[in-house]
Structure 1
């Protein structure tokens, strides 16, 4: 169990964490025909939009209520009404997810009352679902915003329905890529089960070209599918951040659930497949037994490069647990662990300490580490320390293919093991200052290798 220590610095230097509104927006991206809206200034929305576009290399639908200095003081009801009506007229979304920001949370607006009044005044919005998510960006982090958004979506739309035995709910955490969700869907369907994925960014942010264009999200979980989640026989959550949403579905519709803290590594995937076998009444398909044996061989082949490795990781809680636990199982030492927000996941991390801090905290502690793992904002730190950087999490804007990375399940675990090992092989094979020495000799040239 890791001890959680909060950094007491007066300011953040080279931030690791991202805001709650951005996390909530990311959750909304996994809903079909949806328009996420940030209730705040235009700058808040612009920064979030840039990060999403750079990470996924896709067009991102995101709107703002464009609060100004005047409306910040007098109230933003008119901004909310105008934004909702303009979005309804131009994009005709089936759902609008309104995320608050630090600005609108600080001035104490009754935003829930605003939405009720807009509903009453503007009957044109009757065919549009409105979801309000409270996400002040002066507390919490990306993972918290995502958690709150998914819970609010469930609370707003899910209703109790007669149970469909073969239907289950899958609630993926924000640390899962579209490729991860595709892998999970394939595994679940292999057992004859029908998953409702909430939210499903694999349908909207998977980097596909389509002849159809619309101003809202294109693909993801539909409104009808969200409502049908109340008929599922079971809910599976991936990551501690999904617990609130799973508990909400159980409270509303009586659907039991299980939270898998991670699906990277052997033991959690063994439990996952065992649970699917129980739910479906089917044996584990032979191809997954084969994949399990491949993971074991991958661990055997790679442990030469990970055994004794000292790693520094900076990530959101569930991603930190996922990567950190696998590294520990591969014989690595978690020397520095930096995270963004409080989470029950930290108690499961096989490390002595987790610091809630920034990339400067990570850099200060990583001078003796062999590998750095964090998002793209850690590239300058890696250059200063002269250490290899494995990019993970969000945002990764200086690499392509982020939507298709798969790091869960047996196959994804094997991919991640090979990625880590190959980073270390490349590090070992490259000459570095001080590796070579030309000693003084009275005879011919004598070249020796140090270390």
Structure 2
């Protein structure tokens, strides 16, 4: 249909999560990596606080700690000092220098400085990636995608734009979108592996933010894809991108190394799982493993059991662009009427969609969703869902008041069944609460 803007002069209860935070999230999926926010200390503290509350784990973030006089006279000096300290003290394998609104508004050309810094020091065994992510444009999804693209560009440039050896027939690149949890990424890796492929995932949050117990403390990310694996991406047979926002990264690999790619814009529900497994079957020439045939049967049975409770239900969804459309498609499979779709920013995927999507805030979702049965969104919309009278399903980022949200699985047949049952149970509880006052009480 169309992308619509509310035209309000201010944002009420914002849905937008800053792109710099999305960039920090992407770095967590690279082993021994660290994000260096080139800006004030508050920018780094805000990102670190939200990520720590969501994942309930320590998050590696550094900052150049700019103040007013630094920006006026020489912001590069702070950045140089920060880089020197981080490299000398921690010896990271990857540093993403993420610009903030402070440096971008001031016109500081830190990208050129970072390139000069790398050239003068001839850094080896270190990937240094500058990315401009001011908070006045885009959202978490955009920042995450930009950093992933920057990492891939850095790998390509480091290898001179050439593949390091012959292509590996059984190797697949997986580029998961920002809306996928570590649990989702692990599920996708297992599905692809079951067709006989070796999977290189970037960023790989499933081994860094999955809640594993490790002794001691490290200022660097303690899981994710190591640098040597990132370099091996250039030898893969195929690239699978989960989410339209990751297409640019997949295209970079195709342009540099001739690796074909497939983008899955739908990630949730029966149709999306069918599309993924059919593609893997055709690519590998291997029949779909029996476990997934059983999982599909389980999903169909769950959909049949739940359809009485979904009948006549309506929903409002407030999530990042890739996520909002994918969830809307899944609810469409269950016959749910969509009362409103709200995203924090406009993207090519939204412009090409047949659905009407509003670019706005949680206040807009509350207006669109009055009387809706289901509200799907991040933790900031929980109270709005209650005011709208809708059953609330936490999704996206951040979700800080529920345990295990970062390990939920919503992709594949197993994930789709979890979604069907979760929302179905919410609808049952909502219906019970609605009729509770009608029962005679002694």
Contact residue 237 and residue 257 of structure 1 kept, 8 A: yes
1:418 to 402, 421, 430: 421
- Look up the match of 1:255: 259
- Tell me whether 1:171 sits opposite 2:169 in the alignment: no
Task: Give the C-alpha shift of residue 407 in structure 1.
Answer: 0.1
Q: What is the CA–CA distance in structure 1 between the aligned matches of 2:216 and 2:155, rounded to whole Å?
A: 27
- Look up the match of 1:66: 65
Greater shift after overlay, 337-346 or 221-230?
337-346
- Tell me whether 1:218 sits opposite 2:222 in the alignment: yes
- Tell me whether 1:399 sits opposite 2:397 in the alignment: no
Structure 1 unmatched runs, 5+: 438-446
Structure 2 unmatched runs, 5+: none
- Look up the match of 1:75: 74
Question: Deviations along 1:378-423, whole A, 9 cap, x unmatched?
Answer: 1221233333211110000000102210000000000011111011
For the residue of structure 1 that corresponds to 2:3, the secondary structure is strand
Normalization by structure 2: what TM-score? Answer: 0.95
1:158-237, aligned counterparts within 5 Å?
A: 158=156, 159=159, 160-161=162-163, 162-211=166-215, 213-237=217-241
For the residue of structure 1 that corresponds to 2:276, the secondary structure is helix
For the residue of structure 1 that corresponds to 2:338, the secondary structure is strand
Task: Give the C-alpha shift of residue 175 in structure 1.
Answer: 0.4
Contact residue 328 and residue 350 of structure 1 kept, 8 A: no
Q: CA RMSD in A?
A: 1.7
- Tell me whether 1:361 sits opposite 2:364 in the alignment: yes
Task: Give the C-alpha shift of residue 120 in structure 1.
Answer: 4.5
Tell which structure's C-alpha radius of gyration is larger: 1
Q: What is the CA–CA distance in structure 1 between the aligned matches of 2:414 and 2:169, rounded to whole Å?
A: 28
1:6-405, aligned counterparts within 5 Å?
A: 6-122=5-121, 125-158=123-156, 159=159, 160-161=162-163, 162-211=166-215, 213-346=217-350, 351=355, 353-405=356-408
Task: Give the C-alpha shift of residue 432 in structure 1.
Answer: 6.2
Task: Give the C-alpha shift of residue 345 in structure 1.
Answer: 3.0
Normalization by structure 1: what TM-score? Answer: 0.93
Task: Give the C-alpha shift of residue 121 in structure 1.
Answer: 4.7
Question: Deviations along 1:197-254, whole A, 9 cap, x unmatched?
Answer: 0110111000000135421000101111111101001000001011000000001100
Q: What is the CA–CA distance in structure 2 between the aligned matches of 1:118 and 1:186, rounded to whole Å?
A: 40
